[in-house]
């Protein structure tokens, strides 16, 4: 038995499916591919797969991963890539398979690229407002928790931010706290920015990479 980490991109149509749907999609592809992955035991056996950090509905992901257990230790990784890609919808593409070097609990940061556009104001105005917004002492948002709504300051969860003005949108590259505690969803930043602008914006969000607490690439 060998643990392997399967790396994939989630984009195009598949950007619009939830984590649960992605999970179902992956299990079906694993089943269809007949790869020697370990199945759960019991009444309803299915391939055992875990996702180190789920991706929200609507986000693109270029460096996403899923962990499975291989029953055949010598099974070639290239074959996993090609077989899975045959069984996946075109919005999900496997591009690498590795042996995991870090445990999923080590994830502490995630890097996103957020493309912002707004029908009402031009890009330089967006960029200007955005930099004002990021200099605020506090960015307070309402966050839903099990105990109901609570107000949290997400400012301290923004590790770094860089604004780039493009032709018809503004790109905000941010590194945010991620993982099971202190996770900051970039949607929170977008809605806080909308609140600040008092205008609706369209945000096209891509998760680029995951990191551990020392800002080493999650592998």
Output the smallest distance, CB 83 to another protein, in A: 12
> At a CB cut-off of 8 Å and minimum separation 6, what does 70 contact?
1, 2, 3, 4, 35, 36, 37, 38
Among residue numbers 81 through 100, which ones bind another protein (CB under 8 A)? Answer: 87-91
Among 7, 9, 19, 28, the residue binding another protein under the rule CB under 8 A is 28
Distance of CA 204 to the CA centre of its chain: 13
Q: Contact, 4 vs 98, CB < 8 A?
A: yes
Q: Is 31 in the site for another protein (CB under 8 A)?
A: yes
- Identify which range of 13-21, 102-110, 154-162, 169-177 contacts another protein by CB under 8 A: 13-21
| Residue in the block written with tokens 């950007």 | 15
Cα distances (Å, whole numbers) of residue 166 to 163, 172, 207: 10, 10, 19
Based on CB atoms, which residue is closest to another protein, 86 or 132?
86
Q: Is the dihedral of CA 45, 18, 9, 143 positive or negative?
A: negative
Output the smallest distance, CB 206 to another protein, in A: 14
What phi and psi, each to the nearest 5 degrees, are found at residue 22?
-60, -45
Output the smallest distance, CB 116 to another protein, in A: 12
HSE-CB of 85 using CA atoms within 13 angstroms? 14
Among 2, 45, 124, 131, the residue binding another protein under the rule CB under 8 A is 45
Residues in contact with another protein, shown as a per-residue x/- string from 148 to 167 under the rule CB under 8 A: --------------------
What residue ranges bind another protein (CB under 8 A)? 12-14, 16-18, 20-21, 24-25, 28-29, 31-33, 39, 43-46, 57-58, 87-91, 202
């Amino acid at each position: 038995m060998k643990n392997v980490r399967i790396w994939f991109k989630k984009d195009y149509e598949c950007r619009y499916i939830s984590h649960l749907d992605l999970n179902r999609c992956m299990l079906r592809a694993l089943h269809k591919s007949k790869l020697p992955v370990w199945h759960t035991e019991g009444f309803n056996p299915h391939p055992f797969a875990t996702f180190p950090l789920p991706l929200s509905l609507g986000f693109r992901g270029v460096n996403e991963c899923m962990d499975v257990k291989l029953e055949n230790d010598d099974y070639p990784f290239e074959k996993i890539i090609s077989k899975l890609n045959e069984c996946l919808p075109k919005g999900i593409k496997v591009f690498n398979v590795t042996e995991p070097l870090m445990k999923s609990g080590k994830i502490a940061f995630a890097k996103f690229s957020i493309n912002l556009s707004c029908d009402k104001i031009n890009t330089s105005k967006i960029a200007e407002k955005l930099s004002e917004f990021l200099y605020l002492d506090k960015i307070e948002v309402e966050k839903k928790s099990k105990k109901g709504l609570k107000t949290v300051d997400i400012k301290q969860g923004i590790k770094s931010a860089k604004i780039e003005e493009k032709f018809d949108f503004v790109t905000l590259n941010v590194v945010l706290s991620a993982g099971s505690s202190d996770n900051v969803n970039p949607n929170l930043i977008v809605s806080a920015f909308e609140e600040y602008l008092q205008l609706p914006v369209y945000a096209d969000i891509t998760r680029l990479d995951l990191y551990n607490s020392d800002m080493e690439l999650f592998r």
